[in-house]
Amino acid sequence: MSEPDQTTHFGNRDVPLEDKQGLVNSVFRSVASRYDLMNDLMSGGLHRVWKDIMVNTLDPPRSERSFALLDVAGGTGDIAFRAAKAAGDGFRATVCDINMDMLRVGQERATARHLDDRVAFVEGNAEELAFPDRAFDGYTIAFGIRNVPRIDRALAEAFRVLKPGSRFLCLEFSTVDVPGLDRLYDLFSFKVIPPLGRVVTGDAESYQYLVESIRKFPKPAAFADMIRSAGFSRVNWQTLSGGIVALHTGWRL
């Protein structure tokens, strides 16, 4: 017997699970050149603080000791560049993203920052990473896992490619937990961000999807359970900025 068709949410509609990745790709293809500018406008620059906290938590070695980071869904290079700046000479990062438009932006930025010898860019799918087992000392994914059709597969792949004793870190939008702020956040998300996306990128629909996808993502405790189910130990999370984002961590032991 064939398996029943599976569906997932894409914005405010249900789509076949196998169609979601292509739809997500079209979103990021549309906004790639202005993606980082929109992040600044949408977050008031706070995304820079959140990413710095993530890199500080990763704490790459500042010595010449080798450290290989895999940054998934990190096409424009933000996390990898921050980690390279914080780390010593033994640091190398591989940015893996399914969207070539985002990767091209990241590669251009790496060249401009003279980091192209320390940060490599590879096209790939988070659900099927083309890397050997136990190849990396750290795995990061920032604002990308909610766009993965099968999150459990991405988490299993993260576990597979990490060395024992290495750390998984995921920064993602979460559930606002401050009374009053939640209503303001919803108002800003649905009434301001899509029109802003239209003005800056010429694409309101993509940002409508992005804000709706945040509401569909599991709450922190539920997502932590998914990370544990993938095999990670000492799973924890911290919420930032009143719960607008959460940083989840786990160890492959």
pTM (predicted TM-score): 0.84
Position 190 scores a pLDDT of: 81
Tokens 């190398």 locate to 92
**Secondary structure (DSSP) of 171-224:** EEE----STTHHHHHHHHHHHTHHHHHHHHHS-HHHHHHHHHHHHHSPPHHHHH
Q: What is the pLDDT of residues 156-214, one digit of tens each?
A: 999 999 999 999 999 999 988 888 888 888 888 888 888 887 887 777 777 787 788 88
DSSP, res 117: T
Q: Has residue 154 got a pLDDT over 90?
A: yes
Q: Has residue 20 got a pLDDT over 80?
A: no
Per-residue tokens: 167 = 């750390």
Taking CA atoms, 249 is separated from 17, 59, 162, 171, 203, in Å, by 27, 13, 13, 9, 33
User: How many angstroms separate the CA atoms of 137 and 93, rounded?
Assistant: 10
Q: What is the pLDDT of residues 51-62, one digit of tens each?
A: 999 999 999 999
User: How many angstroms separate the CA atoms of 215 and 230, rounded?
Assistant: 23
Query: Does residue 57 contact residue 169 with C-beta atoms inside 8 Å?
Result: yes
| Domains defined for the chain, CATH in brackets | 7-252 (3.40.50.150)
**Average pLDDT, rounded, for the chain:** 87
